[in-house]
Amino acid sequence: MAAWQTALAIGIALVVDRALGEPPARWHPVVGMGRYLGAAGRRIAPVAGGGAGVGGAAARGRPFALGAVAWCLGAAGVGAVAFGLEAAIASAPLWLAAVLAGLLLKPLLAWRMLRDEVLAVEAALDESLDAGRARLARLVSRDVASLDAAGVRESAIESLAENLNDSVVAPVFWFAILGLPGAAVYRFANTADAMWGYLGERGGRDWTWAGKWAARADDALSWVPARLTALLLHAQFARRPPDASRPRVPSPLATLRREAVLTPSPNGGWPMAAMALGLGVRLGKPGVYVLNASAPAPGAGDVRRAARAGGRAVALMAAGAAAVALVATWLAGRP
């Protein structure tokens, strides 16, 4: 696919996402990936308490091997379907192929849903703290019962920043590199990590070794996009004046890196740190990490500010893709 087709497909996918949101669950490819992962997970992860996480090499090796094989089979299947769809539209006129590619890319990214879900947390907080906690529980896997209003907002902003990479930037990145199969395999990897990538027990099963391959695969595929997401956030914060109610000095990249490595995740800390520094707020997970520790906790309005920042980062990403396409087309036309 030519560079201009790729850029056009990305633009179409984002426009359709903004206008229509998510397709029905029965047609949604990510929902289908989840069904496969759920069924396979019941066969690869041992029942919690069986000793697979602490036993010898054999006890650890079997769930790890099963998890790796199940992941590879699923990724191969997803990639093959995406490759077949891409091949099927290749014979169409160039402009139509780009439009169809954009429509096929759309279900593999989800900015509107992410933004709406995060803003719904703030709206629920306006009703009551319990309503805010309940709405947040739909977004995060951590225990929300003990969070105060600031903690709810911290978690919502963190979820938006991290999923800006997982649900938007990374699928677009892999689409630009490897086409529809790249985006589809990435979304499979990210969904597998969300469902399998746990240390210890979840849902009555021990994922310590069964989910290790999925977690490491997602780490590898998200490494570059996560840093790109941080740069997109950093760039759009740096070119805007600070909020009068929350003075902010755009942080240099060295500060961004220092904050990003404070989180256990090799990737998630990058967009979260960029968001914390750009908004001028503290973000963290109790007992695990704190980002931008000297800043105040998020207050009323900061979740909405984060959503606007994410939207600008998405727009900047689309503009960058268009610019790259223009340069590539110009270079291709030179003698």
Q: What would the pLDDT profile of 19-69 be if each residue is shown by its tens digit?
A: 999 999 999 999 999 999 999 999 999 988 765 545 556 668 999 999 999
Distance of alpha carbon 207 from alpha carbon 223, whole angstroms:
22
Say whether pLDDT at 13 is over 70.
Answer: yes
Specify the DSSP class assigned to residue 180: H
Task: Give residue limits of the domains in the chain.
Answer: 3-333
Q: What would the pLDDT profile of 234-284 be if each residue is shown by its tens digit?
A: 998 877 655 656 655 556 888 999 999 999 999 999 999 999 999 999 999
What number is the average pLDDT over the span 101-116? Answer: 97
**Which range among 148-157, 197-206, 223-232 shows the weakest confidence by mean pLDDT?**
197-206
CA dihedral of residues 252, 254, 258, 263 (deg, nearest 10): 70
Residue 172 CB partners (closer than 8 Å, separation 6+): 10, 13, 105, 109, 183, 317, 321
**Which range among 130-134, 213-217, 232-236 shows the weakest confidence by mean pLDDT?**
232-236
From the list 283, 279, 269, the residue with the least C-alpha distance to 313 is 279
**pTM (two decimals):** 0.92
Q: What would the pLDDT profile of 144-162 be if each residue is shown by its tens digit?
A: 999 999 999 999 999 999 9
Say whether pLDDT at 324 is over 90.
Answer: no
